[in-house]
Structure 1
Amino acid sequence: MTTPALPRPDLWCPIEPALHPDHEEVSEHAVAWLRRYGYVTTRAEEETARAARFGELAARVHPHGTLPGVQYACEWLMWLFLQDDDKVEGASGRGDTRTVADHLLRCLQVLHDPQQPPAGAHMHALADLRRRLDDFAAPDHVQRLLSGLMEYFAATGPEAIYWSLRTVPTLSDYQQLRESTVFMRAGCFVLNEIATNCPLPTAVWATPEIQFVSRTAARIVGYTNDILSGPRELAWPGALNLINCIAQEQQCPLPQALEAAVALHKEETAAFLRQADQVIRRHDDVRTRTYIDGLRTWIRGNLDWSLATDRYTTRAPTLPNSQAAN
């Protein structure tokens, strides 16, 4: 069955855009890091990497960070994207859940002991990121990010199963899963604290209101990715995407489901703006303001990058031979 062409919708976001002043240096650092770990070995691969604009993403979501901090956060973002493409979404899309399981277990091994990583570019890059984390963050923030990674790896298990079975979960199940696979609340938002060198004290970060506004921001980022990557992802049977889940839940065509997804995105954005203002009124200090500003720049920066990157260009899926035969 042919997936109907979906228009790229306008997503409401009244947050002002921002860009790190050293964005070009961040972008060149990103390409150099990809070369170092063997992700880029040819001119064609470099062109693909530059079209993905990983450095621009880091410069947009961390516009106020220190240059070393933003470069380090950018390395994490690239690693997360590339290992997901290869070992999670890629492998499970082929029905190869064993590869997903082996990869996740090796990742856990490296997080616990980065000194002797298993073979492979993904593991060596992860080991280097883990070793240098102690240079960028205090012990409580190290543990905060490691806990976020554990949550992300745990969520990729059911994600891989859904992908491999070509099964679309219920909308509520998908929303719960997406909060972890998007790796924001205890992941990328923690990296923003590291990049700005302005960590939020654990006693404040753990409060219900900070967690509530962080989860709202995470949902917005996830919805943005799903809506703007929909034309690419929905080419796959059983695609794990907000649009697909809405279409199944409401028994409606994909264009109508896309409209519902856009409405959800707008609803969450309005809720975030209210929640962020409430947090600032109650905790008007530099660290809290910096944290909330980091949520804002992630929401806006991810949107602007998603509209510019080549990652969400529609490509025909390469199906396993058994499925191609059918």
Structure 2
Amino acid sequence: MPFQSAGCHPGLPKTREAAWEWAESEGLDLSVPARKKMIRTRPELWISLIFPKASQDHLDLFCQWLFWAFLVDDEFDDGPAGRNPLMCEKAITRLVDVLDGAAPNGPMERALAGLRDRTCPGRSPQWNRQFRRDTAAWLWTYYAEAVERAAGQVPSRSEFAKHRRDSVAMQPFLCLHEITAEIDLPDSARSLPAYIALRNAVTDHSGLCNDICSFEKEAALGYEHNAVRLIQRDRGCTLQEAVDEAGIQLARIAERVQRAEKELIQEIEAAGITGPTRAALERCVQDYRSLVRGDFDYHARAERYTRPDLVELDERDSLSQYFAA
């Protein structure tokens, strides 16, 4: 890992408390297994490692987004909706509609509406377009996976790499980074080839790191949408050989981050970008390094990934009650 840690936000305990209080206030009544899983997941740790210098208010808000996102992830990766395309389509359609301003029904939709209303007003049109695109694209990856499972299909490694860029849900948090960094990139900056490459590399690193660390947990659940599993299937190799290859790929992605940083500085100069836009892009270069490192460190510390022996099979045949209208 070539990037230095920027530390952990000292407000982590307050953020953890605020997240659970928020969940209770939104009616997100987690079952005992779901509560145990969320405690092992430690969303407050990830957000505190990713945003070590955020204000406490931003840290709390972003953690509540992450808490909500992990509930979505567990529902559609592990629950019955991930095996039932019709159930999945209906639920995801509703969430995307609420993201777009529809009236919410049920605790998960109301929680999303509240997060949306605390986050998006006051942001620029270009920021809102990017955040909406990234969040909706992430949500629809669950439907794509449900359909592939039902059809008995497994994506190729190249297909999965493209899919994973959205499914890891890192890109919405790169949008949230702009809030705490007090920047708002114009469309011209978002369109720079090197900025796109940097954003993609940061996201790809998170996706592959997650796959390496969650392989055992997901294997226990019969979950095939994992880069390590796809390497193993493609090469017909042992698990350790697949993990080793994934580790080599992870190092190469870190090199892509560094290369994109250098190319972005060159493009800033070539395009004659100055003033606030230049400062905003330079802030992204600076902060994305510690973001990659924070994500890497989180996966080594959260029991969601370090204790696959604690995984419990989800044998429900309907959505969790907080998804119900």
Provide TM-score, normalisation by structure 1. Answer: 0.85
3-state DSSP of counterpart to 2:120: helix
How many residues are matched? 306
Q: Structure 1's 46 and 183: CA in aligned 2 closer, same or farther, altered over 3 A? A: closer
In structure 1, what is the equivalent of residue 91 of structure 2? 103
Are 1:258 and 2:254 an aligned pair? no
1:51 corresponds to which of 40, 65, 76 = 40
In structure 1, what is the equivalent of residue 234 of structure 2? 249
Worse-superposed segment, 136-145 or 40-49 = 40-49
Q: CA deviation at 1:262?
A: 0.7
Give me the whole-angstrom Cα distance separating, in 1, the residues matched to 2:314 and 2:5.
Answer: 39
In structure 2, what is the equivalent of residue 27 of structure 1? 16
Worse-superposed segment, 262-271 or 50-59 = 50-59
In structure 2, what is the equivalent of residue 6 of structure 1? none
Are 1:141 and 2:127 an aligned pair? yes
Q: CA deviation at 1:63?
A: 1.5
Q: CA deviation at 1:99?
A: 1.7
The one-letter code matched in structure 2 to 1:310 is E
Seq. identity, %:
21
3-state DSSP of counterpart to 2:304: coil
Q: Structure 1's 238 and 164: CA in aligned 2 closer, same or farther, altered over 3 A? A: farther
Q: Spell out, residue by residue over 1:97-132, the C-alpha distance to the aligned partner (whole angstroms, 9 max, x if none).
A: 222111111012212224x212x2211111111222
| Alpha-carbon contact 1:92-1:161 (below 8 Å) kept | no
In structure 2, what is the equivalent of residue 153 of structure 1? 139
Are 1:299 and 2:289 an aligned pair? no
In structure 2, what is the equivalent of residue 237 of structure 1? 222
Give me the whole-angstrom Cα distance separating, in 2, the residues matched to 1:23 and 1:188.
Answer: 17
Give me the whole-angstrom Cα distance separating, in 1, the residues matched to 2:59 and 2:282.
Answer: 19
In structure 2, what is the equivalent of residue 310 of structure 1? 303
Q: Structure 1's 198 and 111: CA in aligned 2 closer, same or farther, altered over 3 A? A: same
Give me the whole-angstrom Cα distance separating, in 2, the residues matched to 1:222 and 1:42.
Answer: 28
| RMSD after superposition | 2.5
Q: CA deviation at 1:60?
A: 1.0
1:79 corresponds to which of 47, 63, 68 = 68
Q: CA deviation at 1:170?
A: 1.0
Q: CA deviation at 1:44?
A: 8.1
Q: Structure 1's 319 and 269: CA in aligned 2 closer, same or farther, altered over 3 A? A: same
Q: Structure 1's 92 and 257: CA in aligned 2 closer, same or farther, altered over 3 A? A: farther
Give me the whole-angstrom Cα distance separating, in 1, the residues matched to 2:169 and 2:33.
Answer: 29
In structure 2, what is the equivalent of residue 290 of structure 1? 283
Q: Spell out, residue by residue over 1:134-180, the C-alpha distance to the aligned partner (whole angstroms, 9 max, x if none).
A: 34623321221011122223332212223344543111111111011
Give me the whole-angstrom Cα distance separating, in 2, the residues matched to 1:88 and 1:36.
Answer: 25
In structure 1, what is the equivalent of residue 323 of structure 2? none
Provide TM-score, normalisation by structure 2. Answer: 0.85
Q: Structure 1's 239 and 41: CA in aligned 2 closer, same or farther, altered over 3 A? A: closer
Q: Spell out, residue by residue over 1:31-89, the C-alpha distance to the aligned partner (whole angstroms, 9 max, x if none).
A: 22222223356888666544322112111111222222222222211111111211454
Give me the whole-angstrom Cα distance separating, in 1, the residues matched to 2:283 and 2:38.
Answer: 31
In structure 2, what is the equivalent of residue 189 of structure 1? 174
| Alpha-carbon contact 1:31-1:49 (below 8 Å) kept | no
What are structure 1's unaligned runs of at least 5 residues? 1-11, 322-326
Q: CA deviation at 1:15?
A: 2.9
